C-alpha cells in the first residue's frame, strides 16, 4: 500500500503539473490575442513593400479571411522635455481594431483617432519618460533617421520629426508596455517618407474554426515568394520555446520522482518474494519453473504500477476539474491559476508510469532464481 500510494501521488502530481503548463500556454496565447493577429505577412526582403488595390482584392478573395489591416512598424526615438527613449512605432489603419482587441487593453484614456497626430503608448514608456495623457501643452516628439547617404549637414537634417499627443495608455505585459507606441498609419508614412501604397506588414483575422494551414497555402499560391507568413504562436516563438522547455524540464523532474517512487515498488516485490519463499519452494517442487514464478511477480508489479498510475491520473483529473470549476487556487485576487484538461497529458502520464513500472517489475522479478526457491 505504501509503494502504491507513492506511485499514485507521483502520477497525480505529474498530471497536475502538465495540466498547469497547458493552461499557462493557453493563457499566454489568449493574452497575446489582444495585440497579435491570427496571421501576419511580412516581406521576404527589405523592411517594406508596395501594396496596391489589386493585391488587396486578391487577398479578400481568399475564403476564411474575416478582416485585414495594413500596418507600418519602425524604431523611433520618443523625446519629452528632458528625456528620450528608443521604442517601436506601430502605425495602424482603421481596420486594425477588427483584427485585434488592443483597444480593450487601454486602461487610461482612449484609442487614437485616425488621420490625427494622436498616439497610445505602453505604461512602461509612460513611466520611463514621465508623461500622461491629454497633455496638449507638452506634446511628445518622435524622431527617425532620414534615409540617404553621406554626412548630414546638421542634426535637423539627419532626422524626420513630428509632434504627437498621447491620448491613452495600454497595459498588456512588461515587454510590450516598454516597447510599443501606436499611432495612425498616415502619421507613420509621413514620418518615414513612405509612399501612399508603401507598408511594412499585413495582419489578418481569420473566420473562427477556419483551417489555418489551408489559408497559409492559399496565401503562398496567390503571393508566391513575397511574404513570410507567421501565426500567433510563431510571432511569440521565444515565449513558447520557453514554455515548452520548462514543460519538458518539469516532466523530466517529475519522471525522476516517479522513478524514486518505483524503488518502493521494487522493494515491495522483493520483500514479498522473501515473505513467500516457502510457498515458492512448494510451487517449484510441484513442477513450476522459475521462469513462470518470475512472471507471476512481474505481472503483479506491472499491474500494481498501472492501476496506481490510473488512480493517480483520475485523482489528478478530479483536482484539475475542481480548479476549473471552482477556481480554488488564485494567482491574483481576480485571476485563477490557469489549468487545462488534455487527453494527450493523460496518455503521457499513463505511458510513463506503465513503461517505468514494467522496468521496475522486471528488475525486482529477476531476484527469483532456482537457488532461491530451492533453499
**pLDDT tens-digit profile of 186-227?**
999 999 999 999 999 999 999 998 999 999 999 999 999 999
Per-residue pLDDT band at 123 (split at 50, 70, 90): very high
In 3D space, the residue among 169, 174, 164 whose CA is nearest the CA of residue 108 turns out to be: 169
C-alpha cell, 318: 478530479
Residue 102 · residue 96 · CB < 8 Å: yes
- Confidence tier at 153 by pLDDT (50, 70, 90): low
Cell numbers for 356: 517505468
* Alpha-carbon dihedral angle through residues 238, 239, 244, 250, given to the nearest 10 degrees: 120
Rounded average pLDDT over 232-236: 88
- What φ, ψ does residue 245 adopt, rounded to 5°? -65, -45
Residue 26 CA to residue 246 CA, distance in Å, equals: 15
Structural domain boundaries in the chain: 2-29+239-374, 37-235
pLDDT tens profile 163-179 = 999 999 999 888 899 99
**What whole-number distance in Å separates Cα of residue 25 and Cα of residue 324?**
15
Reported confidence tier of residue 151, pLDDT bands at 50, 70, 90: low
More confident: 52 or 82: 52
Structure confidence at residue 27 as a pLDDT band (50, 70, 90): confident
* Pairing label, strands 159-170, 65-79: unpaired
Mean residue pLDDT across the chain: 91
Phi, psi of 258 (to 5 degrees): -65, -40
CA–CA distance from 215 to each of 39, 220, 234 (Å)? 9, 9, 16
Q: By CB neighbour count within 10 A (0-12 exposed, 13-18 middle, 19+ buried), where does 133 fall?
A: middle
Cell of 148: 540617404
Of residues 239 and 349, the one with the higher pLDDT is: 349
pLDDT score of 131: 93
Confidence of residue 280 (pLDDT cuts 50, 70, 90): confident
Mean pLDDT along residues 29-33: 74
Q: Quick check: 34 pLDDT over 90?
A: no
Average pLDDT over residues 107-116: 94
The average pLDDT across 295-316 equals 94
Amino acid at each position: 500500500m505504501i509503494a502504491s500510494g507513492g506511485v499514485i501521488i507521483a502520477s497525480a502530481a505529474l498530471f497536475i503539473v502538465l495540466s498547469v503548463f497547458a493552461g499557462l500556454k493557453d493563457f499566454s496565447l489568449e493574452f497575446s490575442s489582444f495585440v497579435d493577429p491570427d496571421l501576419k505577412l511580412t516581406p521576404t526582403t527589405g523592411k517594406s513593400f508596395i501594396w496596391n488595390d489589386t493585391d488587396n482584392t486578391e487577398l479578400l478573395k481568399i475564403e476564411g479571411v474575416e478582416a485585414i489591416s495594413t500596418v507600418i512598424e519602425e524604431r523611433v526615438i520618443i523625446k519629452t522635455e528632458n528625456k528620450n527613449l528608443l521604442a517601436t512605432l506601430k502605425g495602424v489603419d482603421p481596420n486594425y481594431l477588427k483584427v485585434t482587441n488592443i483597444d480593450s487593453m487601454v486602461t487610461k484614456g482612449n484609442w487614437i483617432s485616425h488621420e490625427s497626430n494622436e498616439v497610445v503608448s505602453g505604461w512602461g514608456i509612460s513611466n520611463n519618460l514621465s508623461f500622461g495623457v491629454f497633455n496638449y501643452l507638452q506634446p511628445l516628439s518622435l524622431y527617425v533617421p532620414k534615409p540617404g547617404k553621406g554626412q548630414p549637414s546638421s542634426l535637423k537634417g539627419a532626422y524626420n520629426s513630428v509632434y504627437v499627443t498621447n491620448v491613452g495608455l495600454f497595459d498588456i505585459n512588461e515587454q510590450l508596455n516598454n516597447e510599443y507606441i501606436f499611432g495612425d498609419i498616415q502619421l507613420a508614412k509621413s514620418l518615414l517618407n513612405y509612399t501612399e501604397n508603401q507598408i511594412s506588414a499585413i495582419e489578418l483575422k481569420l473566420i473562427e474554426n477556419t483551417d489555418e494551414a489551408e489559408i497559409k497555402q492559399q496565401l503562398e499560391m496567390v503571393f508566391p515568394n513575397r511574404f513570410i507568413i507567421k501565426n500567433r504562436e510563431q510571432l511569440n516563438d521565444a515565449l513558447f520555446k520557453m514554455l515548452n522547455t520548462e514543460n519538458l524540464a518539469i516532466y523530466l523532474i517529475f519522471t525522476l520522482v516517479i522513478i524514486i517512487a518505483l524503488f518502493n515498488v521494487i522493494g515491495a516485490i522483493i520483500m514479498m518474494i522473501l515473505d513467500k519463499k516457502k510457498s515458492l519452494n512448494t510451487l517449484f517442487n510441484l513442477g513450476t519453473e522459475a521462469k513462470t514464478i518470475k512472471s507471476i511477480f512481474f505481472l503483479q508489479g506491472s499491474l500494481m504500477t498501472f492501476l496506481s498510475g490510473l488512480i493517480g491520473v483520475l485523482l489528478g483529473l478530479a483536482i484539475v476539474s475542481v480548479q476549473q470549476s471552482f477556481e480554488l487556487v488564485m494567482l491574483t485576487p481576480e485571476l485563477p491559476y490557469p489549468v487545462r484538461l488534455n487527453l494527450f497529458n493523460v496518455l503521457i502520464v499513463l505511458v510513463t508510469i506503465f513503461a517505468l513500472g514494467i522496468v521496475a517489475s522486471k528488475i525486482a522479478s529477476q531476484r527469483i532464481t532456482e537457488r532461491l526457491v530451492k533453499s
